[in-house]
Amino acid sequence: MSIDVSVIMCVQVSLNLSNNRLSSVPEDLGALSSLRELFLQYNTLTHLPDSIGDLHHLTELDVKNNQLEEIPASIGRLRKLVVLNVTNNCLPSLPTSIGRLAGLEELGLHSNQLTELPDEICNLTSLKVMYGGENRLKGLPVRFGRLTQLQELDVSGCELETLPQSLSRCVSLIRLWLSNNRLQTLPVHIGDLQQLKELHVRNNRLCYLPASVDTLHLYTFTAQNNRFVDEVTASEMCYAPTEGVAPLMELAARAALDSNLEWDTPSLPTSLREMLSSPGRCSVCEGPFFNYNSSVVTFKTVGVFYRLPLCLSLCTPRIEHSGQP
């Protein structure tokens, strides 16, 4: 079934064409320039016309439950868009132009084929909710922490192995869904999310949680089906270096990382390059460490029911330190 734009030119503000078995919308859709809201959900659309970028007054676009394989780059021109819902489509990627939707507050990406989010998504600094669960995401962009207005983030049911440390800067987060992924660690400073009330990390590969989890004030917390270490293993994980001073190679590697040196060059010794490729992060000062650090694992009750291993990783042999050695 298809429609003729001339029939609906009289529409001023809101157009609802949901549940109509539409397989396409007219290429001249953009002629409806006064449109504020466009609802196309529950159809069989496989693409949207480029002219959708001409709907300059659009504040809400809902195309959930279609068969979209692509979002046109022209969507970046919808500068007034506040709500974008592309849930339950077949999208393998998002256009980088999405980063220009500076006023976007709600983004529904749930149930697509996304393997990554474009870095430009970190420019959506007005974003309050992002539902990105049930995709094939392997990670989140490194600068994700720029989304300081974000209150709800769902990335459950993906293929996440790590999260960017910067996630702990999304300080407005109230609800965070991370269940059903492949996470082995959580960001060291997740305890900085002091607004967080709900945290779900079920069905991951976590051996322990960062010690900062203990400072959260959670109402709801789920953590079943992980690989949490028992008390015996945990006690074996506690260690401290025997030398009082870090080796020169360790200090060189920390300095190289701190100075943003271009380290992946043949001019550096191979052993130093290998070290630089996998830094740890100190639980206290957030500084990098490599071979020289200490670790303390304790058991605490998190939420109401769980007694879980919490791990404190330190760039020095001691907990009391104000910075790097």
Site residues (vs Zn ion, CB under 5 A) = 282, 284-285, 287, 315
CA-closest candidate to residue 134, choices 96, 175, 90: 90
Count of CA atoms in the C-beta half-sphere (13 A) of 9: 6
Nearer to Zn ion, 144 or 292 (CB): 292
Nearer to Zn ion, 132 or 317 (CB): 317
Count of CA atoms in the C-beta half-sphere (13 A) of 66: 29
CB of 127 to Zn ion, least distance (A): 31
Which contiguous run of DSSP H or E holds residue 39?
strand 37-39
User: What does the alpha-carbon distance between residue 62 and residue 78 come to, in Å, rounded to a whole number?
Assistant: 13
User: What does the alpha-carbon distance between residue 153 and residue 88 come to, in Å, rounded to a whole number?
Assistant: 17
CB of 162 to Zn ion, least distance (A): 20
Residue least distant from Zn ion (Cβ):
282
CB of 298 to Zn ion, least distance (A): 18
Location of structure tokens 């990105």: 132
CA-closest candidate to residue 92, choices 75, 109, 74: 109
Give, in order, the Cα–Cα distances in Å from 259 to each of 122, 164, 288: 24, 20, 12
CB of 84 to Zn ion, least distance (A): 40
Give, in order, the Cα–Cα distances in Å from 282 to each of 145, 183, 211: 18, 19, 11
Nearer to Zn ion, 166 or 204 (CB): 166
Nearer to Zn ion, 177 or 289 (CB): 289
User: What does the alpha-carbon distance between residue 254 and residue 314 come to, in Å, rounded to a whole number?
Assistant: 14
CA R_g for the chain: 24
| SS3 of residue 30 by DSSP | helix
Nearer to Zn ion, 45 or 282 (CB): 282
CB of 201 to Zn ion, least distance (A): 25
CB of 236 to Zn ion, least distance (A): 23
CB of 309 to Zn ion, least distance (A): 20
Give, in order, the Cα–Cα distances in Å from 299 to each of 87, 179, 198, 302: 39, 22, 21, 9
Nearer to Zn ion, 121 or 282 (CB): 282
**What type of residue sits at position 309?**
P
Nearer to Zn ion, 94 or 314 (CB): 314
Nearer to Zn ion, 55 or 314 (CB): 314
CB of 261 to Zn ion, least distance (A): 20
